[in-house]
Amino acid sequence: MKPQTFELLRYTDISGISGTGIVAEGCVFTDGSVALRWHGANPSTAVWPDLDSILAVHGHCGATVVRWLDVSEMETVPGTDLLPGEVAHILATGRLTHKAAASA
């Protein structure tokens, strides 16, 4: 497995602060932890234990989703239809809550 990159795509800006569209970019590491870089006038970087934690705080009930990058070059984990970052997420949390967002 190798780290996987993604964007956070926000459809509705509930808070009125970060706007819509691509609001952040990040990387899921092989242990499931995530580095996230926010865009905007005051960009910042944060490290999270997993994607669930990010979406619990910033997902706004589905208004923000994960969009995986370089999907065409990624290979699924043998015997599954999951990408390596998704497997790392499952191993770290026991859950796969963001799968639907991958197709957004």
Alpha helices in 1-104 (DSSP H): 51-58, 84-93
The predicted structure's pLDDT at residue 1: 65
- pLDDT tens across 43-101, in order? 999 999 999 899 888 887 777 888 888 766 556 656 666 665 566 556 555 555 544 44
**3-class secondary-structure state, position 4:** strand
The predicted structure's pLDDT at residue 5: 92
The predicted structure's pLDDT at residue 99: 47
Region 22-27: mean pLDDT is 94
- pTM for this structure? 0.66
- Considering Cα of 37, then 32, then 95, then 81, what sign does the dihedral take? positive
From the CB of residue 27, how many other CB atoms can be counted at a distance below 10 Å?
A: 15
Can you read off the two tokens belonging to residue 102?
Answer: 């991958």
Can you read off the two tokens belonging to residue 58?
Answer: 């910033």
Q: Using 50, 70 and 90 to split pLDDT, how confident is the model at 25?
A: very high
